Every structure is written in structure tokens, then in C-alpha cells.
Amino acid sequence: MNSPLQPGSLAGKTALVTGSSRGIGADTVRYFAAAGANVVINYRSKAPRAEKLLAELEANGTQGLAIGADLTDPASVESMMDAVRERFGALDILVLNASGGMEAGMGEDYALRLNRDAQVNVLTKALPLLHEGSRIVFVTSHQAHFIRTVPTMPEYEPVALSKRAGEDALRDLIPTLEAKGIGFTVVSGDMIEGTITATLLERAAPGAIDARKEAAGKLYNVSEFAAEVAQAAVDPVPADNTRLVGDVSYFTEYPATSGS
């Protein structure tokens, strides 16, 4: 996979990506590592997969950590940040990629606890490690970003609402971040083929992904979207703190074209 970042452009920098043992998070970590960054791979329960990714990167000279942390547990997040401080001293890039809410048996408030409360807590716990020039990227979907104006599939609605609540809570922190010289960008993309969310959605509503692909014309795959996430961590922060990936005409034109 071709990295969107210049080789060596992140030398000496440290990047933490939540939920990065697989999928978008893992490929984002690969792009940062290819640019020379130290990387912190965070996972909830998939230790072997995270350790395998770390070994792959270390074989190419990357310095890294694989840290298990339940992001909904503040003490677990605190321990992760302590480990980052002990190993690398500071954080230059924080990517808030982990999300969920469609998993079975996690409790009805799990989506909000993970997609809103945990995101704010991770950022807050990371603040002492961040500094002027550091960057934060929050990863979301168009289905969540535009949920206030465009309905989504019923099966995905609780996740979309909780993701938007998380985005709003993080945006409330922008003045605090800007005062510290820390950049914050929301990266929003359409449904991504090959992600666990897409798989669970397809299971709940067969044909949903194909229907979305037909409507959009194209859906990004995992590595393509991860490249956008990695790029957002180094590009200038957009004026509205938002990077929309792919076609958004369906979402932006919806109110004008709906009949009700």
C-alpha cells in the first residue's frame, strides 16, 4: 500500500490510534509508521492481532507499543497514557478511531458510553501529553455526521446518534485545544467496505452496503479511507474543522429533495 505521507516526515513524532489492531486504525498506524513515527497501537481485546501488527512494523525499524485498554474504563485509559508517557514522553498525533455500538450483549447505553463519553475521556487524559503543534483527528461516518438532517438505516441509528453526540462533545473542546495550539479535525466518510461496522450492518440489513454503494457511485475501502485519516493529521486544519471524504451530495441535498 502506498503511503500518502512523505517518508521521514514524521520522524521523531509519536502517534496513538485507538482501535488500531485491525481495519482503518491498523492501516492508519501503518501509514504513520511508514512516515517515520513512533506508533501506539490500542486494542480492546485482540492482543494477538495487535502484537502481530507491532511485530510487522518493528521489523521495518518502527518504535512502537501495543496497549490493551477498554476505552469505556477511565482507569484503563489512564494506564495507557501512563505507558505512552513512560515510553515516548509526549504525543504528537491522537487519532480517535475506535467506535462501536452494534455489538451484542454490551448493554443498551454502550454506544453512548463508547462513542461519546469515552472519546471525551481519552482526549482529556491525553491532554497532558499533547503540546503546541499536536494534532487530534476524530473519525466518523457521513451517516453519523449528517444524522440531524438525513435519516439513516434503523439498525445503524443508535450508533449514528451516539457518534454525532461524541463529535459535538469533542467540538465543544475546540476553544480549549486552540488555546493550547492543538489542531482538531473531524474526518467523515461514507460506509467503508470491509469494516466490522459494515459487516454487522450487512448482517442486520442484508443488501444495505450494495444499496449505499449504488447510491454513492463508489465506497472507499479500508486503506483508501485510512490514507485520508493519516493525511488529516498533517494537513492544515480546515476552517470548519471538518474533512469530508468522498461524495456527500446525497447528504447535503437531502432536505431540499425530500418530499416530507
User: In the Cβ-directed half-sphere of 260, how many Cα atoms lie within 13 Å?
Assistant: 1
Reference 216, options 189, 256, 187; nearest CA is: 189
Whole-model pTM: value is: 0.92
Q: What is the pLDDT along the chain (260 residues), one digit of tens a residue?
A: 778 999 999 999 999 999 999 999 999 999 999 999 999 999 998 899 999 999 999 999 999 999 999 999 999 999 999 999 999 999 999 999 998 876 666 777 888 999 999 999 999 999 999 999 999 999 999 999 999 999 988 888 989 999 999 999 999 999 999 999 999 999 999 877 766 666 766 777 787 677 767 776 777 889 999 999 999 999 999 999 999 998 888 888 876 544 43
CATH number, domain containing residue 127: 3.40.50.720
Phi, psi (5° rounding) for residue 163? -65, -40
Whether 132 and 89 have beta carbons less than 8 Å apart is answered as no
Whether 161 and 167 have beta carbons less than 8 Å apart is answered as no
Q: Is residue 52 part of a domain?
A: yes
User: Distance (Å, rounded) from C-alpha 237 to C-alpha 137?
Assistant: 10
User: According to the model, what pLDDT value does residue 109 have?
Assistant: 86
What is the residue range of 185's domain?
A: 14-257
Reference 65, options 31, 22, 29; nearest CA is: 29
Instruction: Output the CA torsion 142→147→151→153 (10° steps).
Output: 60
Q: Is residue 7 part of a domain?
A: no
Task: Quote the number of domains for the chain.
Answer: 1
